[in-house]
Amino acid sequence: MLNKNTPPHIATLIMLAGLAALSMNIFLPSLPGMTAYFQTDYRLMQLSVALYLGVNAVLQLFIGPIADRYGRRPVLLWGISLFLVATLGCLFAPTAGIFLIFRMSQAVIVTGMVLSRAIVRDIHDQDSAASMIGYVTMGMALVPMISPAVGGLLDAAFGWKANFWSLLILGCLMLWLTWSDLGETGRPRDISLFQQFAEYPLILRSRRFWAYALAAAAASGAFFAYLGGAPFIGSEIYRLPPETLGFYFSAPAIGYFAGNFISGKFSRRWGINRMILWGSVINSVGIGISLLLHMAGMGSVGVFFGFMTAVGLGNGMVIPNATSGSLSVIPHLAGTASGLGGAIMIGGGAALSALAGSMLSLETGATPLLLIMLLSALAAIGAVLYIYRRERHLVR
């Protein structure tokens, strides 16, 4: 620990990924208050989720190749520094439009999420990487588990800006920790950045990469749709105050923590494909039951948020294993694969988040959101079944 000439301690990787997760959702209970502060429409402020995810996805296309070319350490240090500048912009933005510009700029912190996975793959083989990514994201799950609740309490006590001040302070601490502990694990390649991007087709032509990437994207798509729609469900339909909504909102993270633990414990023993399949099934069944109960007129706060733990559990089993599979297709392009896979996952999530937010109203209730989530979860089952079919064909 705290030796910049050696690979980073696992705690550093957990906190790098955790800061990216924290930035994504700590302020969600504050959306109604932010809407009132900027004197704008709720749907406009809700774009702070969808636009953030969209920029997040685009950035991942560049972060991976740049890190493969120049190394993990310098890209992480620059990414965190730019995040701090963007956070200051959010705090002092005079209008909603300027706030959204700086909010989109905050997405640069996805550098920590992309490269923490790539660093794990730098130093572990495929099955071991799946277990290690599971442990990393299990620890990371603690952040989204508590951050909406903490964000709600900070909002209630000090107003919405307290959430962004906390991001600024934590970002400064993370910059120091990265500088002090994270030694270079990649092997910077002696080729131009243009040549690095020119190697994208090696990954794009791989059916195996696409199957794993789409499995992760479809499974997580259900969660991103939840991010876009759940604040409206909680605040407008069930009339929950910010601090209470924050606690309910954390329901998927409880399941995600358990799913990551299962991945860390059993991925090496059971294999990544089996873990992806069972996680996708759990995800779909939980959403399906919730949808049926809502359509039968039995929906409630407990039903809606309670079954979201199944979404978290399924994602915790799918994402580490599907990520490890996609990173192992071409190991020397692990950073590029991590960025492209993350872009597919986050880009799809941004679209689903925006779609979920636009389809909800007091009249529709939670049904449109649950339907979108179910279709996304079922697509993950289709992706992993394709992996099984392809592998059986190759064996024959």
What is the rounded average pLDDT of the residues 258-275? 82
The full set of domains in the chain, from first to last, is: 10-395 (1.20.1250.20)
Mean pLDDT of all residues belonging to the chain = 82
Band of residue 47 on the pLDDT scale cut at 50, 70, 90: confident
228: its two tokens: 């876009």
Residue 396: per-residue pLDDT:
41
What pTM, to 2 d.p., does this model score? 0.71
256: its two tokens: 């995600």
Residue 137: per-residue pLDDT:
65
Residues whose CB falls within 8 Å of the CB of residue 24, separated by 6 or more in sequence, listed in order: 52, 53, 144, 227
Is residue 32 within 8 A of residue 22, CB to CB? The reply is no
Q: Is the dihedral of CA 8, 10, 13, 15 positive or negative?
A: negative
- H/E stretch holding 360: none
Is residue 132 within 8 A of residue 185, CB to CB? The reply is no
Residue 290: per-residue pLDDT:
92
Amino acid letter for position 53? L
- With a cut of 80, say whether residue 292 has pLDDT above it: yes
Residue 285: per-residue pLDDT:
94
Tell which phi-psi region holds residue 333, choosing left (phi > 0), alpha (psi between -120 and 50) or beta.
alpha
What is the rounded average pLDDT of the residues 169-183? 92
**Angstrom distances, CA of residue 306 to CA of 158, 310, 343, 352:** 29, 8, 29, 21
- With a cut of 50, say whether residue 395 has pLDDT above it: no
For residues 306 and 88, give the distance between their C-alpha atoms in angstroms, rounded to a whole number.
36
- With a cut of 50, say whether residue 394 has pLDDT above it: yes
What is the rounded average pLDDT of the residues 148-172? 89
